[in-house]
Amino acid sequence: MDQMLAYDAILFTADERPPHVVPLMTSPLTTPMPNLPEPFLCGRMPHPEMYMDYITEGLGPRSWRFQVIEHLEGMTRKFATPYIVFYPIVSRDGMPFPLNKGVREIQGDNYEEAKAWRGNLVVAKYRDQEYASMMDASMADFPILKNWLLRHEGTQAVIARLLESNSKEADAHLRYRPAAKWTPPPPPPPPRKPPKAIPGASLLIRTRIGVTMNRIPPPKPPPTEIYNGLHSLWAKTGMTANEFREFTNLVENTSDKYLSPRGSIRNQGRQMLSKHYAEVAKLWHHEDKYKDDWPVRLYTKLYLASDDVCIQMVLIPAGRGADYVVPASLTPENTDVY
């Protein structure tokens, strides 16, 4: 069973006592929570309120706040072992906490009462930049903390900034502008119906990921054969030559995979091709009488055209084998690439 564990921390008291090392008690987190702040990433809850005078009891972490100490002014790299300073915010009687005289002496000429630290401060040390575990602090860490406190505002300034930002947001919502005129939002666009396939026509589609595709039906097929014939999809990807070589393996591993119009490519990790396929499925599967034509086979081919890498994706109904003849009009030489 997990128990209370103590780690050495440095206490800056509000009175005139010098900073000294105290045992900071921690308890295990019993309930998993998403998006944990830094003090709780180690799986334990610190209890700095044990050393904070005049603090409201029973509130736990709601009675204090913290600031992360990851680097000093002028540093370009973070500390390998960062610190966290805890300070009180909810007093027992509602009055402000007393000014921290120890930090006031450290700041010297930089001291401003409006930005002063108040109450007892507890500084804990963590083993890595991910705050995965705590470690013991010592007075050898005092020069770093002294340098940080010398140039950082205290609790009153932090709380004042929060109140000011909240006040500005409230004023922005309540501000009345006589020149502003309310206009009703535009009605939602009507649902888009897939266009009817016309023999010999081509349809330009713009996907959400910024790829332009051109669907070209077979040349002059009977109307009933439009959904059974060979269809080609050309996509301009804008890849570099190195990306082209890397992507070739991806396409080769994806080709000859069975697809379903209501699913995605079964081979995981083929998100780009599945998005392209979904656009084609919307066009070619919009009438129930053609639903028996699915699933289809997906054949892919990469080639270079005008210094851009293009993908040819050929959809063939499952009932048709690989012996289906590719019309000459679908070859790269006779097809416009957008």
Distance CA 48, CA 24 (A): 7
- Is the four-CA dihedral 199, 204, 209, 211 of positive or negative sign? positive
Q: What is the pLDDT of residue 222?
A: 33
Range name among 109-113, 150-154, 270-274, 300-304 with the lowest pLDDT average: 300-304
Q: What does the pLDDT average to over 180-195?
A: 71
Residue 103 exposed, middle or buried by CB count within 10 Å (0-12, 13-18, 19+)? buried
What is the pLDDT averaged over residues 269-286?
Answer: 47
Give the mean model confidence (pLDDT) for residues 70-84: 87
Place of tokens 């069973």: 1
> Do residues 14 and 115 both lie within one domain?
yes
Q: CA end-to-end span of the chain, whole Å?
A: 65
* Confidence category of residue 111, pLDDT binned at 50, 70, 90: confident
Q: Which of 134, 162, 190 is the last residue of a domain?
A: 162
Judge whether 45 lies within some domain: yes
Q: Are residues 99 and 248 in the same domain?
A: no
Assess contact for 301 and 273: CB atoms under 8 A. Answer: no
**Does one domain contain both 155 and 209?**
no
pLDDT at 242: 53
Looking at the domain assignment, is residue 321 inside a domain? yes
Question: Same domain, yes or no, for 41 and 96?
Answer: yes
The answer to the question of residue 196 being in a domain is: no
Residue 70 has pLDDT above 60, yes or no: yes
Query: To which H or E segment does residue 142 belong?
Result: helix 142-150
Report the alpha-carbon distance of residue 332 to residue 338 in Å, rounded. 12
Average pLDDT over residues 264-285: 44
The answer to whether residue 153 sits within a structural domain is: yes
Q: Do residue 16 and residue 123 come from a single domain?
A: yes
Q: What is the pLDDT of residue 155?
A: 64
Residue 264 is assigned to a structural domain of this protein: yes
Same-domain pairing of 106 and 211: no
Percent of the chain with pLDDT over 70: 48
In a domain, 50, yes or no: yes
Is 195 domain-assigned?
no
Residue 15 has pLDDT above 60, yes or no: yes
pLDDT tens for 289-318 read: 434 444 444 444 444 444 444 444 444 444
Position 219 pLDDT exceeds 90 = no
Q: Assess whether 119 and 251 both reside in one domain.
A: no
Residue 91: DSSP 8-state: B
Length of the chain: 338
Phi/psi at 102 (5° precision): -65, -45
- In this structure, the answer to whether residues 212 and 292 fall within a common structural domain is yes
In sequence order, the 6+-apart residues with CB closer than 8 A to the CB of 115 are 153, 154, 156, 157
Tell me, yes or no, whether 15 and 156 share the same domain. yes
The number of domains in the chain is: 2
Mean local confidence (pLDDT), 224-232: 32
Average pLDDT on 92-110 reads 84
Q: Do residue 132 and residue 242 come from a single domain?
A: no
pLDDT of res. 193: 61
Q: Which of 162, 177, 192 is the last residue of a domain?
A: 162
Max avg pLDDT among 97-111, 217-231, 257-271 = 97-111
Which range has highest mean pLDDT (173-187, 269-283, 303-317)? 173-187
Same domain? 157 vs 26: yes
b/e sequence 124-152, b meaning 16+ C-beta within 10 Å:
bbbeeeebeebeebeeebbebbeebbeeb
> Containing domain of residue 316, as a range?
203-334
Instruction: Choose one of 162, 178, 195: the last residue of a domain.
Output: 162
HSE (side-chain half, CA atoms, 13 Å) at 141:
27
Lowest mean pLDDT segment, chosen from 147-151, 156-160, 319-323: 319-323
Residue 39, pLDDT > 50, answer: yes
Tell me whether residue 192 is in a domain: no
Tell me the pTM.
0.47
Q: Do 157 and 215 reside in the same domain of the chain?
A: no
